[in-house]
Amino acid sequence: MEDKHLLMIPGPTPVPPKVLSATAKPPIGHRSGDFSKILAEVTENLNWLHQTKSNVLMLTVSGTGAMEAGIINFLSPGDRVLVGSNGKFGDRWAQISKAFGLDVDVISADWGKPLDTEEFRQELEGDKEKKIKAVIVTHSETSTGVLNDLETINKYVKNHGESLIIVDAVTSLGALNVPVDEWELDVVASGSQKGYMIPPGLGFVTVSDKAWKAYENAKIPKFYFDLKKYDKAASKNSTPFTPPINLIYGLQTALQMMKNEGLENIFARHQRLTQATRAGIKALGLSLFAPDEAASTAATSVIPASVEADAIRSTMNKRFNIALAGGQDHMKGKIFRIGHLGFVSDRDILTVLSCLGATLQELGKDVDPGAGVAAAAKVLG
């Protein structure tokens, strides 16, 4: 049946009908007074979502663009940085850092395992000459469904005194509590196609006072990604370059929906969906890639063992029109990922688990196809 597709990947995520309708409105001039009023509201609500008094800066980019901007605005070639890498995106930030001539030390963990916070403590405490200029951490590693202990790592960065902390919050912002000001996070980057519930195309960056001081001495060339331009424009309810007007219409509506739900309710919903998904997967006799204590609220990664991951994804798509994400890089074909981020409800999780049970049975696995739904329903209450 047409138009019954269920998108259950960790990005892009489902877009609410109200948001889609908003993006279909005719565009207006981006230098007009009416658009400035929209930007003022959007900025205020972005600040609310990020729990910060500083203006959240909007760029016409993906999450990767937001992270690149967050790296290059505050560092110089030759600066030493620590990059946490336990998945696809930690690897990417190390690659970007090297591309701009930074001296990169990688603190790694196996895919499916959280970063060891003690390794960060040892490196930072051992840096007596204060040569480490930044620590770059992926909060929620989308490729594996692992949540890294950002709060603890950030404490060690703060004890260091000199280093900035630069955070990939692409699949944690809007799904987990990321109190930017309370934790004194220096640079936080995220993307529109995740917890914000709008299509891809907007990136967001927050910048602390400490990071702005580092900006004054940063030597990496930049023009379109010069965040000072965005900060100056934001203070005037404007943008330095032509923005995606229709995406911002959608963002305005999505943020209104999020405010109506409330931060605590948003966080609680994502936690509940995560726990229900994991309970359902276990009941179906499948293994989880990430440990319970480090489970991301963005996605659940599954090791299907006796059934091929791609066969599961293909059957789910062909039989039930449900899209699941595959593994990336060396995990391709070995895991599949269920997204539960953004505009996702209890009903969506129960639907996926029901169809997954039927899929496993169709693929020859000896399983009670309703076991996943029953286990998840207990969690959802």
Task: Check residues 341 and 1 and name the one with the higher pLDDT.
Answer: 341
Token duo for residue 107: 């603190």
pLDDT band at 4 (very low <50, low <70, confident <90, very high): confident
Instruction: Please give the mean pLDDT across all residues of the chain.
Output: 97
The predicted structure's pLDDT at residue 362: 97
Q: What is the pLDDT of residues 290-323, one digit of tens each?
A: 999 999 999 999 999 889 999 999 999 999 999 9
Name residue 243's amino acid. P
pLDDT in the model for residue 353 = 98
What's residue 305's pLDDT? 83
Q: Is 1's pLDDT higher than 80?
A: no
Q: Is the peptide bond before 12 cis (omega within 30 degrees of 0)?
A: yes
Segments making up each domain of the chain, as ranges: 17-259, 263-380
pLDDT at 306: 86
| CATH C-level class of 17-259 | alpha beta
| Measured CA distances, 66 to 54, 59, 189 (Å) | 17, 7, 6
Average pLDDT over residues 98-116: 98
pLDDT in tens, 247-290: 999 999 999 999 999 999 999 999 999 999 999 999 999 999 99
Q: Does the reported pTM lie above 0.75?
A: yes
**The domain 263-380 belongs to what CATH superfamily?**
Aspartate Aminotransferase, domain 1 (3.90.1150.10)
Q: What is the pLDDT of residue 75?
A: 98
The angle, 0 to 180 degrees and rounded to 10, between the axes of the packed helices 371-380 and 346-362 is 160
Q: What CA–CA distance (Å, rounded) separates 284 from 279?
A: 9
Q: Give the span between the Cα atoms of 144 and 167, in whole angstroms.
A: 17
pLDDT at 2 over 90: no
**Residue 289 burial by Cβ neighbours in a 10 Å radius (0-12, 13-18, 19+):** buried
- Quick one: pLDDT band at residue 181, thresholds 50, 70, 90? very high
Express each pLDDT in 347-364 by its tens digit.
999 999 999 999 999 999
What per-residue confidence (pLDDT) applies to 117? 98
Amino acid code (one letter) for 308: E
Contact 24, 352 (CB under 8 A): no
